[in-house]
Structure formats: C-alpha cells, structure tokens
Amino acid sequence: MTKQEAAETLALQALAWLASNQELWPGFLDASGAAPADLARSAADPVFLAAVLDFLLLDDAWIIAFCDASGQRYDAPLHARAALPGGAAMNWT
C-alpha cells in the first residue's frame, strides 16, 4: 500500500467517524459543502478526503476522539494529510 493509499484509508475512517458523530456531522457537511447524496462519489476523490482531514485537524479534541476510537496514533491524521493533495509543507526560504 502506498503512502497515499494509506492516507486515503485513514481519511475514509475519519469520514465514517464524522458521519457517526451527530454533533460534528452537520458542521462537516456545512463546512465542506458536501451533500449526503454525493458522499459515495466524493469519498473516492483524494481532494475531498484531504478536506475530511482538514476538518478533523481543526480541533485537538476531535483528533484525540477519532484516534482513540480508531486505534490510530495521535499524529496519524496529520501525516495522512501530508500524503494527500495540497498537504505538502510550505517552504518559504
């Protein structure tokens, strides 16, 4: 499995976790502009999966809850985000 494939898998797990969270799910849909009817198609798009991780990374408590629920290390979402489109670290030098 490539780094990107592993990152996509983790992002899909995060998407499922978000969907099961009644408090966060509406906020994610609003922030992403995603419609529930389009999620199956969107979930195959690495850019959308990056947006899932971007949303999750907004709050440390969400990261901890997701990682505890999925058995991931707390830095796993950040590393997965780096492997998806737009995730490269900025170098200003």
Q: Could you read off the pLDDT tens digit of each residue along the chain, which spans 93 residues?
A: 899 999 999 999 999 999 999 999 999 999 999 888 888 899 999 999 999 999 999 999 999 999 999 999 999 999 999 999 987 765 556
Residue 90 resides in a domain: no
Residue 37 resides in a domain: yes
Residue 88 resides in a domain: no
* Count of structural domains within the chain: 1
For the packed helices 3-20 and 60-70, what is the interaxial angle rounded to 10 degrees? 100
Residue 89 resides in a domain: no
Q: State pTM to two decimals.
A: 0.90
Residue 48 resides in a domain: yes
Which residue range(s) make up the domain with 31?
A: 3-82
Residue 91 resides in a domain: no
Q: Residue 68: which region, alpha, beta or left (left: phi > 0; alpha: psi -120 to 50)?
A: alpha
Amino acid letter, 76: A
